Amino acid sequence: EFFSRQHHVLEERLASLARAITESCRPVEEEIGDMYLKIFAYVLQSCGLGSTKDSEVFREVTAVLQSVFPRREVITFISLSKKNKEQQLKNLTMIVTGILLYNKEQGKGGSGIDDLRAILKEAILSATRIADERVNTCHVLAHQYTALLESMQEDPLRCSQLSSLKLKEALFNVRQYEAFLCTLLSDATTSALEVEKMNVQFAAAMEMLKKIVPNKIPADTKAVFPLFVALSNLWNEFKEKMLLIKFLTSMINDLQQFSEIQSQLFPKEVLSSLLEGVTVKSDEERIRETMGTRVNVSDFKDQEWFFPETIKDFDQLLIEYHGFCAHAIGVKGFPLPGNPAIGILKHKERYYVFSSKEAAYIFAQDPDKFIQLNVEKAREHAELIQLLKLQHRFVHLTPPSSAGMKPTTRCDSAVQTDTHILPPTIVKSYEWNEWTMRKRAIELANLRRKSTHSMQTNLSHMRRGNFTQIYLPRDVSTQTKCDNSSNVPRPQIFLEGLRGGSPSTTCMVKVDLTRAVDET
């Protein structure tokens, strides 16, 4: 997921430029130069070999690109389909990257290219050293806490001022921290082995190129280009390993806070005073003390016991409870390292180890009882579920990914398809109607029985054909009726003198201002 996010960021950064290159389809002279510049910019940013602002890097990439992809090839490139253009861009980027790496190896350039292999080697050594030191610190704390808990069980009054519950939780926390650090250390070690193999492959590809590519003589591109692509792929793997080591180092540093909490809860002075007179045993010492004891298989009739030398691929065997004693967790309340040499009990297709022969015999009398005790102990201390790998016992509490089930993933996605990427294949003669097809079949069948006859007479021999042409009558139209309309004037009559005046009688005057009909 981390690598996919990094690739997605790079693709998003170059998406607009790649789109402008692959969607152009006009082989115009003005656009050829612009297209070549876009291809150069894409290759320069995709290589990631030095700063894009460095003039030396700019000059080297320009020279290499012109040698493998001249400007005259742009017209052929534009005529390709979008998918082929994208593949061609990727191939160009890998070939240019491989040539630049080869030139750096030959001392003919590559001043801006970092020595990634040396940097990666140093980063792996640093991450491994830091993780190893912190794992050793966890081991010391775990051994001290275990010794204190055992002494408290033997003599409860010995450490009356110290809470056994608090000490157990501190032990669980240290064991968890140790497990995570061991996982990160294993990843760093695995990466170191893979980087060594990649270095061998890189050196072999370089040596082969030195033999194939003579000085100043054109080489066969079919034999050379695959080697340049292989160099580019190996270089990308080096960059991915570098990102991974940085990621692991960041996680190791983030986990350091748990070690600091331990020193706050139990300072060194307090631990030193509590450990006076207490024998602190490491996990290796506990295992060595019990190497001479072994379970007698004949004492158990209905149970299967195995030993490391009798099991093929013992390292691949999945031991329950992360390799801790199956008896001590539920009975004593804290984990003790198990010793496979004592005997490995197989119960219901699961394998259990023990810290002593006595613990193995007690557990074997009733395994289900002690397994349930361990589950109850994990209910009291939830951190034991992850530490002892008891997720299958608490499926209802664990997320699907931790329980081994495939989680339901959701994401927003969008799909875009090209319009008319292929020429149209519409069949004009296609007919879906069955009766129309039958009619056409009958016509074709009748046509097979027809024949064309022709004859020629003496009168028509060597005569020319006569043609006549007539003009069709034009369309003529007449109109026998027209629409007309008239408008009657609106009456306008005014009356004067209705309000009265000084004389006693009212004299009204009527004025008619209506226009005549013929005036409108």
Residue 435: which pLDDT band, with cuts at 50, 70 and 90?
very high
| pLDDT computed for residue 448 by the predictor | 74
Least confident of 43-52, 204-213, 340-349: 43-52
Question: Does 156 lie in the same domain as 89?
Answer: no
- Helices 164-212 & 221-254 angle (0-180, nearest 10): 160
Convert the pLDDT of each residue in 162-201 to its tens digit.
Answer: 777 888 888 999 999 999 999 999 999 999 999 999 999 9
| Domain annotation covers residue 313 | yes
Of 106, 122, 149, the position where a domain reaches its end is 106
- What was the pLDDT predicted at 105? 84
Residues 259 and 308 in one domain: no
Q: What torsion, rounded to 10 degrees, do the Cα atoms 293, 295, 296, 299 define?
A: 140
User: Is the domain of 199 the same as that of 88?
Assistant: no
**In whole numbers, what is the pLDDT of the chain averaged over residues?**
83
Q: Please tell me whether residues 270 and 156 are part of one structural domain.
A: yes
pLDDT band at residue 465 under the 50/70/90 scheme: low
Is the pLDDT score of 404 beyond 60? no
Verify that 195 and 233 share a domain, yes or no. Answer: yes
- Band of the pLDDT at 126, cuts 50, 70, 90? very high
| pLDDT reported for residue 30 | 66
Model pLDDT, residue 466: 64
Do 74 and 89 meet the contact criterion of CB atoms below 8 Å apart?
no
The arithmetic mean of pLDDT across residues 146-171, rounded, is: 80
Beta bridge partner(s), residue 463: none
d(CA 122, CA 105): 20
pLDDT of residue 29: 66
Give the rounded percent of residues in the chain with a pLDDT score beyond 90: 20
End-to-end CA distance of the chain: 92
Does residue 491 belong to any structural domain of this protein? Answer: no
Of residues 520 and 165, the one with the higher pLDDT is 165
**Closest alpha carbon to 376 in 363, 393, 360:** 393
Flag whether 117 is in a domain: no
Neighbours of 280 (CB within 10 A): 15
SS3 72: helix
Residues 160 and 266 in one domain: yes
**Three-state secondary-structure class, residue 348:** coil
Task: Decide: 23 and 85 in contact? Cβ < 8 Å.
Answer: no
Q: Same domain, yes or no, for 253 and 319?
A: no
Segment 366-400, tens digit of pLDDT: 999 999 999 999 988 888 888 888 888 887 655 55
Residues 174 and 256 in one domain: yes
Identify whether residues 269 and 157 lie together within a single domain.
yes
pLDDT reported for residue 198? 92
Q: What is the pLDDT of residue 511?
A: 87
Domain finish residue from 393, 413, 439: 393
Same domain, 139 and 271: yes
Residues 168 and 229 in one domain: yes
Residue 506 scores a pLDDT above 50:
yes
Contact assessment for residue 284 and residue 142, using Cβ atoms and an 8 Å cutoff: no
Most confident of 88-92, 310-314, 427-431: 88-92
Residue 216 scores a pLDDT above 50: no
At which of 393, 418, 433 does a domain end? Answer: 393
pLDDT at 133: 92
Instruction: Name the residue with higher pLDDT: 187 or 428.
Output: 187
* Structural domain contains residue 403: no
Using a 10 angstrom Cβ sphere, with 0-12 exposed, 13-18 middle and 19 or more buried, the burial of residue 333 is: middle
Residue 307 resides in a domain: yes
What's the pLDDT score for residue 217? 44
Give the separation between CA 193 and CA 197, rounded to whole angstroms.
7
Q: Which range is least confidently modeled, 90-104, 222-236, 242-256, 385-399?
A: 385-399
- Report helix angle 55-68 to 82-106, nearest 10: 120
Which residue pairs from 111-118 have beta carbons closer than 8 angstroms and sit at least 24 positions apart in sequence? 111/50, 111/56, 112/49, 112/50, 112/51, 112/54, 112/56, 112/57, 113/49, 113/50, 114/50, 116/235, 116/238, 116/239, 116/242, 117/195, 117/199, 117/202, 117/238
Residue 508 lies in a domain: no
Q: Which range is most confident: 120-129, 398-407, 491-500?
A: 120-129
Tokens representing residue 390 in the block: 């008891």
**Strand ranges for 155-313 from DSSP E:** 304-306
pTM above 0.85, yes or no: no
Q: How many residues are given for the chain?
A: 520
Query: How many structural domains comprise the chain?
Result: 3
The reply to whether 422 falls in a domain is no
How confident is the model over 58-109, as pLDDT tens digits? 788 888 888 888 888 888 888 888 888 888 888 888 888 888 888 888 888 7
Cα separation of 388 and 320, whole Å? 7
pLDDT of 17-36, one tens digit each?
A: 888 888 776 666 667 778 88
pLDDT of residue 49: 77
Domain range for 57 = 1-106
Query: What's the rounded Cα separation, in Å, for the pair 261 and 267?
Result: 10
Assess if residue 90 is contained within a domain: yes
Same-domain pairing of 158 and 268: yes
